[in-house]
Chain A
């Protein structure tokens, strides 16, 4: 493989990376990875109304509040990994019993 090809592939990757938000790259650190996972999950929760309702029952909040906090939390949380996971599991503890 020639050097120029490699450059090409790299630049293509970069382009794809920019185009498709959330795709990983070689230098991804733990924080970025966690943030991406979290945003993907939250976007999915916000999009799937039944899941949102399910969380709302668990936390005894309105669905509107739940949607707001899923969108909001992305900026609030600094130590995302631990917090997020705890939140996921915990919601489920309640909801599963719901």
Chain B
């Protein structure tokens, strides 16, 4: 079995983000690392985030930094990854690519202890970069310019210190003196010698300054001082003329200003009042913003509160450090403050957001300050604050993020043309069920009813130089309606259009006149209102029309083509006639090329199943240039920059047709319309659903739109809607725009309460049942009570208590009754042994929860399945595995585990508890098996039957190594997934009532997801980001099945402390992301099935099995050439990456192959030559295989 791996949805989570002027000029861009993908984002004029470029780098990005050489206008990007190399990238605006400027190797690849890549620090003046590892190694590279002003990089200078852990590094701003880097370090050499742990508790973190002596080209330890042991993050403080220099050390509960020869200035980080006393407050992300006259820091805590930190300083002496509560936004992995007054917040889970600054928190009241720091016997006195609604920030855009996907199922519950992907995403109060549909999202601007069923619609400008359209013309079967576009859309009658006849085409012709083609003639409306009519000869009517701005071709019924051109005076002149052999099915003229008089090509589709390209040149007018036959009569034709739906490329010189591609779009004959997308011509295909064909980052994409079936469409441009589409469907006129180009899926979001864990489907009732649970949170009632108390306290504070009053100063205009949304502020933290959990029945169509059972008394649900027991008394039941009082730390313990059995009532919309059965461990896996229930409880696999008051034990097997996390059953085989030890194949012998393990895997795999493929094959994913398939060898499988007594299995000796037989690994692939769910499904109607997976970083991918050996050969060679000629951007070797933990086996990386179109043309040709093909054929092949998957 050979598989083609393709990422359908790139990772949506963000590891880190930086901002700068990467394209040069004034605009600020954001570079985000999404694990294995590097993206360049830019907020557009409307404040919406647009993705300019997205590159898969086949490696793990761990850190990013930007720097600018002195006096330069452009920022460079430094990437720290797992490649053992430092890579400096430059964004090339013209080609829209990242250019690799430098790549320096310093160590082994992989995320290792002592190989740098984890941390990056930049000298604020852009003279040097430090790249550090978690332990020991730090390297400094000097950056400079050569005589041609190109960036140069030196050989590395070592700043290693052995037996040292590094927590954070940053550059110190010291103007143009020697560059200094600061690091939080911890020396563990003594702790290692002492196994009692005494030395370990005494170990002390130090802040160390490393100075790079530019003259001596040498790095030395300049200064080292003890620092708070909770220190975890360093932030550069502006220096030189702009500030006092030095660093901010963020530690648990404190922010400390430190500099060489300067006393510490320390302030406590304010705590939320409801935070348990034993929990600290940790800063998880930081941003510095520097203006001409001042600078400030935004620090975000792990609970989402953002604090503004300012320094009172006189020269380089800092007198006070002030911390002011700024706002609360969901916890971020990185924050970027843009010069244009935006804050980009890259959330660690859930949607990212772009905020605009309304204020910068300039009020004098601050929560904590170094001046008011109180030290008591127990340590420093904490400061409390109450989170409030956003005051300084306002959210203006969101970027969808699926991170993390915890479970996923594909089904066509809504009976649409293609199946929907149901994913459980997010964490805690920000979790959601997202229904993904293939296609682009559409936002509807207007829908209006028309007096009848329209047959066609056009938009037309009055003048070629107009920015916006003037009229919408709608044709009915016996009339034409003209609507003028202004502030509102209104019917007009003075437009000059003939309204008593249907129209065939309406367009702008020449520079400023309008043309209406109706069945009996052509009406040419001049700008001054004069009207010229051309009538068809005899009783013949016009059947089809093709036109561009200067040329018109009409086809009369019977098959005669008449060709008109606009002459210099703006008159429409008949030029040529041509008799075709039969009726014309469709025709189109290519747009007039820039600077030309006319387009040379006319395409005519006939009912004899051919497409002809005719010349329109005066010297060989109406000569047939080429002919292509198609499988059925063409319905619609459209010239695009490069092709049509039955996509064929017309050679610009000879008019020859080549490179044709076809794609099934739907059940109805498609109609094609030209529209504008981002200023470029694109095509809209209307079949049983609308499709958009457009060019995105070098790829031609044909993507369905998530919208209703449309009859006819035209592009639309007005004041309110610059690039829209107007379409008719049924009796309505619809105006919509297309959003977020380049996306594969669009999503419908249904919010949930807690972190969703698993769900099951009830396909017949079209309902989902899911379990959600969260550790360390209060139950709904407790939260409600606490909130009430908190608001009461706040109310009391305003009446007298001065201390609280001060804190609430800013909030007086707030509506006190309106509670703070949990989604925004997170649930209050509880002790870690507290759990909340719920079982939910949800109707995905309406998004309504029909039943929600909140589990009581510290119980949390971990597994779910539907089960039909032998006695059909109850029909389908729901089994839920729960644990009560589960604790992981310091030692795993639980009060009890339970299996709940629920009955569906009210047609499945509600649940009723039948009984619950106590078990000794956490039931992590449940599965129906031959009318009974299989449960994996810890390391025990047990079979239960339904009793009146509880489940009845039938048989069990205790021989599993660690803990059972998945169970699949097929016939009498049971496939058990162990937490650490991969799959175990078991057999149930009914006559003996025993469970045997007859085969297992020889590789320890920490399973995170599993799926049953066929009788002998299982697919699994492990926590290191690998997907693998194992298969029981055919002979072993036959032997087991042929053994009638089962005696052999029973008495056979195990091998290597395991089962007697071993499964074989048949497929192995490193995805580079933790896969949490696997599913076999087909995403296109009538297409083959592929394995779909969802990951923690919020990406969705597919593995598709090749059906022919030729394809395997072709793609493995293409992959090989791509590996050789196009090594990954960040320096990781592609083969090594895909084989990071186990050698890749029988999987071809489609993501690498799909980078083929981004190669320079000569390289494309070179690779194509070696494969004995043309680049066009390779592109076609790539498109074909993609179309088989999605």
Residues on B with C-beta less than 8 A from A79 are 197
Q: Mark B78-121, 1 if CB is under 8 A from A, else 0.
A: 00001000000000000000000000000000011110011000
Is A92 in contact with B863, judged by CB distance below 8 angstroms? no
Task: Name A47's contact: one of B62, B203, B302 (CB within 8 Å).
Answer: B62
Which A residue's beta carbon lies closest to that of B13?
A53
Residues on A with C-beta less than 8 A from B1007 are 96
Q: Is there a chain B Cβ closer than 8 Å to A50's Cβ?
A: yes
With contacts A75-B191, A86-B891 taken as known, whether A62 is within 8 angstroms of B284 at the C-beta atoms is: yes
Residues on B with C-beta less than 8 A from A29 are 195
With contacts A71-B167, A87-B889 taken as known, whether A98 is within 8 angstroms of B195 at the C-beta atoms is: no
Residues on B with C-beta less than 8 A from A48 are 60, 111, 1024-1025
Q: Is there a chain B Cβ closer than 8 Å to A16's Cβ?
A: no
Q: Smallest Cβ distance from B57 to chain A, in angstroms?
A: 14
> For the complex, what is the distance from the CA of A53 to the CA of B404, rounded to whole Å?
8
Q: Is there a chain B Cβ closer than 8 Å to A44's Cβ?
A: yes
Q: Is there a chain B Cβ closer than 8 Å to A8's Cβ?
A: no
Q: Smallest Cβ distance from A84 to chain B, in angstroms?
A: 11
> For the complex, what is the distance from the CA of A60 to the CA of B404, rounded to whole Å?
13
> For the complex, what is the distance from the CA of A56 to the CA of B1084, rounded to whole Å?
35
Q: Smallest Cβ distance from B174 to chain A, in angstroms?
A: 27
Task: Name B232's contact: one of A21, A63, A68 (CB within 8 Å).
Answer: A68
> For the complex, what is the distance from the CA of A49 to the CA of B1073, rounded to whole Å?
8
Is A43 in contact with B134, judged by CB distance below 8 angstroms? yes
> For the complex, what is the distance from the CA of A95 to the CA of B1074, rounded to whole Å?
11
Is A43 in contact with B863, judged by CB distance below 8 angstroms? no
Q: Is there a chain B Cβ closer than 8 Å to A13's Cβ?
A: no
Residues on B with C-beta less than 8 A from A20 are 114
Q: Mark B911-924, 1 if CB is under 8 A from A, else 0.
A: 00000000000101
Is B757 in contact with A98, judged by CB distance below 8 angstroms? yes
Is A75 in contact with B979, judged by CB distance below 8 angstroms? no
In B133-155, the 8 Å CB interface with A consists of 133-136
Which B residue's beta carbon lies closest to that of A20?
B114
In B977-1016, the 8 Å CB interface with A consists of 979-980, 1006-1008
In A29-59, the 8 Å CB interface with B consists of 29, 31-32, 35, 39-40, 42-44, 46-51, 53-54, 56-57, 59
Residues on A with C-beta less than 8 A from B112 are 40, 43-44, 47
Q: Is there a chain B Cβ closer than 8 Å to A14's Cβ?
A: no
Is A75 in contact with B135, judged by CB distance below 8 angstroms? no
With contacts A65-B284, A75-B186, A78-B197 taken as known, whether A47 is within 8 angstroms of B117 at the C-beta atoms is: yes
Q: Smallest Cβ distance from B111 to chain A, in angstroms?
A: 3
Is A96 in contact with B965, judged by CB distance below 8 angstroms? yes
Which A residue's beta carbon lies closest to that of B1071?
A50
With contacts A56-B348, A60-B428, A94-B775 taken as known, whether A75 is within 8 angstroms of B117 at the C-beta atoms is: no
Which A residue's beta carbon lies closest to that of B80?
A47
Q: Is there a chain A Cβ closer than 8 Å to B217's Cβ?
A: no
In B170-212, the 8 Å CB interface with A consists of 186, 188, 191-192, 195-197, 200-201, 203
> For the complex, what is the distance from the CA of A41 to the CA of B915, rounded to whole Å?
43
Q: Is there a chain A Cβ closer than 8 Å to B468's Cβ?
A: no
Residues on B with C-beta less than 8 A from A77 are 197, 200
Is A89 in contact with B892, judged by CB distance below 8 angstroms? yes
Q: Mark A66-96, 1 if CB is under 8 A from B, else 0.
A: 0010010011111100010011011111111
Is B232 in contact with A78, judged by CB distance below 8 angstroms? no
With contacts A61-B302, A87-B888 taken as known, whether A76 is within 8 angstroms of B111 at the C-beta atoms is: no
Q: Is there a chain A Cβ closer than 8 Å to B649's Cβ?
A: no
Is B197 in contact with A22, judged by CB distance below 8 angstroms? no
With contacts A18-B162, A21-B136, A50-B1074 taken as known, whether A89 is within 8 angstroms of B962 at the C-beta atoms is: yes
Q: How many of B's residues come within 8 Å of A, CB to CB? A: 82
Is A76 in contact with B282, judged by CB distance below 8 angstroms? no
Residues on B with C-beta less than 8 A from A32 are 192
With contacts A21-B114, A35-B192, A97-B965 taken as known, whether A53 is within 8 angstroms of B165 at the C-beta atoms is: no
Residues on B with C-beta less than 8 A from A95 are 1008, 1023
Q: Smallest Cβ distance from A66 to chain B, in angstroms?
A: 9
Is B348 in contact with A62, judged by CB distance below 8 angstroms? yes
> For the complex, what is the distance from the CA of A60 to the CA of B117, rounded to whole Å?
27
With contacts A57-B404, A75-B186, A78-B195 taken as known, whether A44 is within 8 angstroms of B775 at the C-beta atoms is: no
> For the complex, what is the distance from the CA of A91 to the CA of B404, rounded to whole Å?
16
With contacts A65-B302, A77-B200 taken as known, whether A49 is within 8 angstroms of B60 at the C-beta atoms is: yes
Is B200 in contact with A71, judged by CB distance below 8 angstroms? no
Is B111 in contact with A86, judged by CB distance below 8 angstroms? no
Is A51 in contact with B863, judged by CB distance below 8 angstroms? no
Q: Smallest Cβ distance from B58 to chain A, in angstroms?
A: 15
Is A90 in contact with B188, judged by CB distance below 8 angstroms? no
Is A78 in contact with B196, judged by CB distance below 8 angstroms? yes
Q: Smallest Cβ distance from B1026 to chain A, in angstroms?
A: 12
Q: Is there a chain A Cβ closer than 8 Å to B1096's Cβ?
A: yes
Q: Mark B1058-1070, 1 if CB is under 8 A from A, else 0.
A: 0000000000000
Which B residue's beta carbon lies closest to that of A64?
B284
Is A60 in contact with B200, judged by CB distance below 8 angstroms? no
> For the complex, what is the distance from the CA of A46 to the CA of B196, rounded to whole Å?
26
Task: Name B1096's contact: one of A50, A59, A61, A83 (CB within 8 Å).
Answer: A50
In B1010-1035, the 8 Å CB interface with A consists of 1023-1025
Is A53 in contact with B1097, judged by CB distance below 8 angstroms? yes
> For the complex, what is the distance from the CA of A94 to the CA of B924, rounded to whole Å?
9
Q: Is there a chain A Cβ closer than 8 Å to B331's Cβ?
A: yes
Is B162 in contact with A21, judged by CB distance below 8 angstroms? yes
Task: Name B1006's contact: one of A42, A71, A78, A92 (CB within 8 Å).
Answer: A92
Q: Is there a chain A Cβ closer than 8 Å to B54's Cβ?
A: no
Residues on B with C-beta less than 8 A from A74 are 165, 188
> For the complex, what is the distance from the CA of A59 to the CA of B777, rounded to whole Å?
11
Is A53 in contact with B349, judged by CB distance below 8 angstroms? yes
With contacts A65-B282, A94-B775 taken as known, whether A40 is within 8 angstroms of B167 at the C-beta atoms is: no
Q: Smallest Cβ distance from B404 to chain A, in angstroms?
A: 6
Is B1023 in contact with A51, judged by CB distance below 8 angstroms? yes
Residues on B with C-beta less than 8 A from A40 are 112-113
Kindly list the 10 A-B residue pairs having the minimum CB-CB distance in the complex, ordered from nearest.
A78-B197, A47-B111, A64-B284, A90-B888, A62-B302, A43-B113, A97-B862, A31-B195, A60-B775, A96-B965
9 pairs of residues in contact across A and B, judged by CB atoms under 8 Å: A43-B133, A47-B82, A47-B134, A53-B348, A60-B774, A61-B302, A96-B924, A97-B862, A97-B965
Known: A51-B1024, A93-B892. 14 other contacts (CB 8 A): A21-B114, A39-B113, A43-B134, A54-B1023, A57-B406, A57-B755, A63-B333, A64-B284, A64-B285, A71-B134, A90-B889, A92-B980, A93-B963, A97-B924
Using a CB–CB cutoff of 8 Å, the interface residues on chain B facing chain A are 13, 15, 35, 60, 62, 82, 111-114, 117-118, 133-136, 162, 165, 167, 186, 188, 191-192, 195-197, 200-201, 203, 232, 252, 282-285, 302-303, 331, 333, 348-349, 403-404, 406, 427-428, 755, 757-758, 774-777, 832, 862-863, 886, 888-892, 922, 924, 962-963, 965, 979-980, 1006-1008, 1023-1025, 1072-1074, 1076, 1095-1097
